[in-house]
Copies of this chain bind each other. A is one copy, B any other.
Amino acid sequence: MEFQDNIPIYQQIQKYLYKQIALGLIKPGEKIPSVRQLAVDLTVNVNTVQRALNEMNNEGILEVKRGLGSFVTTDINLITNKRQELIKETMSEFLESTRQLGLTPEETLKELKNYIEEENKSK
């Protein structure tokens, strides 16, 4: 057994921004806060923010314009694909967790269905 490494902060920042974008909280073409502002908001070093944005720029999700700031891509396909990718990743991790608790994927599906139904009742 190994113990969980901290997920690097720059990856956490990426995931945070991906979610904001996937949810439409930051819209296509919109400017995100400056690296310095994000660094302050997230109480993190400027370099760490830059590392996060840099990779997102390479992927095309962000367009970083020197002297102007960073903008969410207007390519909606890219955003949709990224969201789909994140969803798949979440599914995969979830099935791994339940597998470790002795559930097959099919049993997991059934358990999830039950869980949701019970939650709905309790409202």
A residues with CB within 8 A of B: 1, 3-7, 9, 12, 16, 19, 22-24, 41-42, 44, 83, 86-88, 90-92, 94-95, 97-98, 100-103, 105-106, 108-109, 111-113, 115-116, 119-120
Contacts and interface: CB of A to CB of B under 8 A. Distances in A.
Query: Chain A's interface: helix, strand, loop or mixed, by majority?
Result: helix
Q: In the assembly, how many copies of this chain are there?
A: 4
A75 to B, nearest CB: 18
A83 B107 CA distance: 14
B83 A90 contact: no
Contact of A22 (B23, B102, B112, B115): B102
A42 B3 CA distance: 8
Nearest to A99: B23
Contacts of A97: 90, 94
Q: Counting chain B CB atoms within 10 Å of each CB, which of A106, A112, A119 scores highest?
A: A112
A4 B7 contact: yes
Contacts of A113: 109
B3 A4 contact: no
A88 B115 contact: yes
